[in-house]
Structure 1
Amino acid sequence: MKIKILTVGTRGDVQPFVALGKRLIQYGYEVTICTGENFKTFVESNEVGFFPIRINYLELTQSKEGKRMMSGNVIEIFKNMKKLIYPMMEQMLEDLWEGSKDADVLIYHPKAFGGYDIAEALGIPVFMAHPIPVIAPTSLFTNPALPFSFNIGLINKMSFKVNRLFMISFFKIINKWRREKLGLATKRSIFTNDLVLNGKSIPILYGCSPSVIPYDENWKENVSMSGFWFLEEKGWKPPNELLNFLEDGSPPIAISFSSMPLKNPDRVKEMLIEALEKTGQRGVFISGWSGMNNCDSNSHTFTVDSIPHTWLFPRIIGVIHHGGAGTIAAALRAGKPMIICPFSADQPFWAERMRRIDVATTPLKERDMSVETFINRIYELLRNNTLSDNASDIAIKINKEKGIEDTIKFIEEKIKQ
């Protein structure tokens, strides 16, 4: 049976699906992940089938136009929609169809918004999936895609309808593609309930933990959420310089802003280095795409472009990061307290959630970063034993969960129905 997984975005949108796909193959399924062509090596190195989609979110976010759009400048957003975004979306839809038209089962991330239409055209079992609980409405929390939250159940539930608004600008492109490529006569609009297909609710797969996010019993049997989808990155060998650094002193703090393009990365780096020195702490900088590429390694700090969190996090004392779901999951699994500096999307949600369950300090936004605020947060991280105790307790629960296995059982049950 051929399962096609459609997902686009940054590594956080791809890695959990690689973990799921890798396990599905072990269950005897033929799995292909259709995602950005820049993830080819990553996907294939995990022995999962790959189909390239001509879309590169990282490249877009690192471009001048992309940075201006991510700043929230409405004029820049509208100016670049026609120039950059629309052509990219048209290519994405073409490639998603080409990569999945022989599928027996479809699993798609909402960012790959052609998934709904492809499943309709093929008439096959379909699942919506996300590492974050942003799809199924609930009164328990506000839609994580929003930069604010409420404590009112009805408003929380209504906040999930906002998801449809994100699609408004693309319906013209989607409907043209539906008609010309998929042979579908009906049109989609803001009034289309994309949680229902052919009169049936689309089953939803969440790759996150009920020990961290409450499971809504009203979801009944339509939502699977029983644990994070961790990718076991075996065979990775650390450089000797890193091993020597870790052995030559106290456990460091890991620092990573992943693909978040800092407005002034050099200044943030300098503030962090000074804060580490004044608090007597050591640090491992994971530069990623943040722009902090020129950190000199010494006895106090070490810099690496990328590193498996599963290897590093058990060897550190805490994490300073942007609040991405993947980094959150890895830190929780390792039982490490956090300082979260949220930027956009679901990151404020995670920052608030981690603070609420008392495993993270007060969040620190980029505009509030200074040597002093970093020092205060580092001291809070180190001296508040409640943070580390709670992180250790949650790690025990998370390591007992079987997120991927339970998700596959859910998939198999739905396919048989």
Structure 2
Amino acid sequence: MKIRILTVGTRGDVQPFVALGGRLVQCGHEVTICTAVNFKEFVESNGVSFSPVRVDFLELTQSEKGKKMMGGSPLEIFKNMKTLIFPMMERMLEDLWEASKDAEVLIYSPKAFGGYDIAEKLKIPVFLAHPIPIIAPTTLFTNPALPFSINNGFLNKISYKANSLIMASFFNIINKWRKETLGLKNKRTLFTNDLVIDGKLIPIIYGCSPTVIPFDNNWGSNVSMEGFWFLEDKEWEPPKELVRFLERGISPIAIGFSSMPLNNPLSVKRMFVEALERTGQRGIFISGWSGIKETEKNDNIFVIDSIPHSWLFPKTRGIIHHGGAGTTAAALQAGKPMLICPFSGDQPFWATQMKKIGVATFPLKENDMSVETFIDRIKELLNNKRLRDTAESIAIKINSEKGIEKTIKFIHEKIVMSNK
């Protein structure tokens, strides 16, 4: 079958779908992932077809306007909606439709605005999908997309209304596109239930583990959450100097913030270097887009732009990271204790949840970073036996799950049911 997967965002929004798409290809399906142009090589190198979407969230997050918006300022968000965000959304809608016209099955992330409308137009089997449980309302936890947590079941369920409120800003663009491009007469409003099409619930698939996030039995058979969608390991040849660094001393601590731009990366790096020195530890900095640049390498510090987490994390003593879903999953898979420094989006949710299940120290936000706070967290990371034992125990459970296989079985069953 021709399956189109629609997703936009950063690496963490794309990699799980590449893993799922690759396995669907192995099952005999014709799979195309529709996402930002900068992921073309990554998608195709994993055996999945690619269709470009003119949306580059990495570029946006690195721009001055993007950094101000990611700081959470309502004024900055409002100022840039018409000049920056709206044109980007219009291009995205055009590209997603162009890539999906011949689809027989549609899998889309909520961030790919237009997935719901395309499915409504084509009248084909459709699945809502995400690496974290932000779609189906539940009383068990607050919507992970929100930067706070509520200890109230009723309010937790209500918090999922935020998804519709976020969409409301784009209804004018979406409804114009629905009418002029898709030929759909009815408009989407705040009262539209975007979990239902033609009176039927849209099946939901989550790429995360019920070992670390509780499955709500009230979701019933409409939701699949069977385990993380890990990308199959490829052979990766590490630089010789990295191999020599690892051989020269004790296992290091991995430190990285992926696409999250630090406000003062030089200061943060200096704090890390001093904290590592004072605790007698070694560190590997994964610079990514954080702004932490190359530093003079020595026996205790190594800096690398990017590196497969599945290769590095098992070789470390612990992991300090931003709390992205993909990085968190990789740390869990490796069975390593972690310190999470959350910035935005679902990162506070992961930080709270990892502390709750006993695999992470208390979170540390950028404004609270100092040499002393890093020293305290590093000591706990390495000396708390309960953290280490819990991380290793959970890793055994996670590595025994067959998340992708069971998700694909769920997809096949729902497709059969929809065709009856």
Tell me which residue corresponds to 2:104. Answer: 104
1:157 aligned partner, one-letter code:
K
1:334 aligned partner, one-letter code:
A
CA contact (8 A) 1:232 1:310 kept: no
The residue correspondences of 1:23-62 to structure 2 (distance < 5 A) are: 23-62=23-62
Tell me which residue corresponds to 2:115. Answer: 115
The answer as to 2:97 corresponding to 1:90 is no
Tell me which residue corresponds to 1:167. Answer: 167
The answer as to 2:177 corresponding to 1:180 is no
Tell me which residue corresponds to 1:230. Answer: 230
CA distance in 2, matches of 1:95, 1:346: 26
CA distance in 2, matches of 1:249, 1:95: 50
Q: Which moved more, 1:22-31 or 1:288-297?
A: 288-297
CA distance in 1, matches of 2:158, 2:271: 41
CA distance in 1, matches of 2:296, 2:40: 31
1:47 aligned partner, one-letter code:
G
2:240 aligned partner, one-letter code:
N
The answer as to 2:225 corresponding to 1:208 is no
CA distance in 1, matches of 2:23, 2:254: 29
CA contact (8 A) 1:269 1:292 kept: yes
Tell me which residue corresponds to 2:273. Answer: 273
CA contact (8 A) 1:130 1:205 kept: yes
Instruction: Look up the SS of the partner of 1:167 in the other structure.
Output: helix
* 1:314-372 deviation line (CA, Å, top 9, x unaligned): 10010000000101100000000001001111111100000001100010000000000
Instruction: Look up the SS of the partner of 2:221 in the other structure.
Output: coil
CA distance in 1, matches of 2:197, 2:371: 52
Tell me which residue corresponds to 1:295. Answer: 295
Q: How many Å apart are 1:292 and its aligned residue? A: 0.3
Instruction: Look up the SS of the partner of 1:33 in the other structure.
Output: strand
Tell me which residue corresponds to 2:68. Answer: 68
CA contact (8 A) 1:358 1:386 kept: yes
1:17 aligned partner, one-letter code:
F
- Aligned-residue CA RMSD (Å): 0.6
* 1:205-249 deviation line (CA, Å, top 9, x unaligned): 000000000001111100000100000231211111111111111
* 1:357-393 deviation line (CA, Å, top 9, x unaligned): 1100010000000000000000010111100000000
Instruction: Look up the SS of the partner of 1:34 in the other structure.
Output: strand
CA contact (8 A) 1:323 1:340 kept: yes
* 1:392-411 deviation line (CA, Å, top 9, x unaligned): 00000000000000000000
* 1:235-270 deviation line (CA, Å, top 9, x unaligned): 211111111111111000000100001000010000
Q: How many Å apart are 1:148 and its aligned residue? A: 1.0
Q: How many Å apart are 1:296 and its aligned residue? A: 2.4
Tell me which residue corresponds to 2:11. Answer: 11
Tell me which residue corresponds to 2:376. Answer: 376
CA distance in 2, matches of 1:382, 1:46: 36
The residue correspondences of 1:306-317 to structure 2 (distance < 5 A) are: 306-317=306-317
Q: How many Å apart are 1:295 and its aligned residue? A: 2.4
Tell me which residue corresponds to 1:319. Answer: 319
Q: How many Å apart are 1:203 and its aligned residue? A: 0.3
CA distance in 2, matches of 1:172, 1:413: 36
TM-score between the two structures when normalised by the length of structure 1? 0.99
CA distance in 2, matches of 1:6, 1:298: 43
Instruction: Look up the SS of the partner of 2:111 in the other structure.
Output: coil
CA distance in 2, matches of 1:360, 1:323: 11
Which 5+ residue runs of structure 2 have no aligned equivalent?
none
The answer as to 2:41 corresponding to 1:22 is no
CA distance in 1, matches of 2:269, 2:23: 38
The answer as to 2:341 corresponding to 1:341 is yes
The residue correspondences of 1:189-208 to structure 2 (distance < 5 A) are: 189-208=189-208
Q: How many Å apart are 1:71 and its aligned residue? A: 1.1
CA distance in 2, matches of 1:119, 1:73: 34
Runs of 4+ in 1 over 3 A off after TM superposition: none
CA distance in 1, matches of 2:277, 2:348: 28
CA distance in 1, matches of 2:74, 2:155: 26
1:88 aligned partner, one-letter code:
M
CA distance in 1, matches of 2:158, 2:408: 30
* 1:60-113 deviation line (CA, Å, top 9, x unaligned): 010011111111222211111111100000000000000111000000000001
2:276 aligned partner, one-letter code:
L
CA contact (8 A) 1:269 1:295 kept: no
Aligned residues: 417
Instruction: Look up the SS of the partner of 2:16 in the other structure.
Output: helix
Q: How many Å apart are 1:152 and its aligned residue? A: 1.3
Instruction: Look up the SS of the partner of 1:221 in the other structure.
Output: helix
CA distance in 1, matches of 2:165, 2:339: 32
Which 5+ residue runs of structure 1 have no aligned equivalent?
none
Q: How many Å apart are 1:294 and its aligned residue? A: 2.6
Q: Percent identity?
A: 71
CA distance in 2, matches of 1:18, 1:49: 10
* 1:23-73 deviation line (CA, Å, top 9, x unaligned): 000000000000001100110111100000000000001001111111122
